[in-house]
Amino acid sequence: MVLGWRMTWLKMVACTLLLVTGGAVSDADAQNANGQKKRMVILGDSITAGYGLDPDEAYPSLLQKKIDDAQLPYTVINAGVSGDTSSGGLRRIDWVLGQKGADVLLIALGGNDGLRGVSPNETEKNLSGIIDKARAKSPQIKIVLIGMEMPPNMGAEFTASFKAIFPKVATAKNVQLVPFLLQGVGGDLKLNQPDRIHPTAAGQKIIADHLWKDLEKQL
């Protein structure tokens, strides 16, 4: 009796949706109605965490707004930790993904590796390990690797080797690459806080805008 009532109710809901939408029920509507939004995890450091800013001003929150405006069924998880490195990301990726895993993973790590002079080979190994662990947890996960660059004072040889890490890993692991997280922001005093490392709110907005150009296609 209960099952019959439930089936009748579901049919009524389905008919109502068909009438309202003209027969087309979007994935976003279905996901939201069922409370089953997909998960987008952003694994990063202080730039991702929004160091020195209100959390709502950090690019993960700005991406969430763009996703909501586009009526896409994704919840953004900001897994940015100030000071984190690629080795730290490798250690915590299983915990960050949790039992549910994720549908999309953005990897925005490596900047602190470079500033600390970590061997590019080590950073490459760690980033590859993060991708492997994510796929082991969620085989269908979409992964975007976001590159970073070092300032010239780190030396020409090191900066070139460091920059090459990201396209190399992206090609080897067959993931999407965004070449430079701070495109249009890095080195601009007006878009960075006094430490010249962390973006201002305006800088974070530029980051979100250029990431969205790639993410919108993926989502």
pLDDT < 50 positions in the chain: 1-30, 32-34
- Residue 171: both structure tokens together: 């090609």
pLDDT single digits (tens) 113-164: 999 999 999 999 999 999 999 999 999 999 999 999 999 999 999 999 999 9
> How much is the pLDDT for 26?
39
> How much is the pLDDT for 217?
82
* CA 153 to the chain's CA centroid: 29
**Model pTM?**
0.84
pLDDT single digits (tens) 198-207: 999 999 999 9
Q: Catalytic residue positions?
A: 46, 195, 198
What is the chain's length?
Answer: 219
Residue among 59, 37, 138, 128 nearest 96 (CA): 138
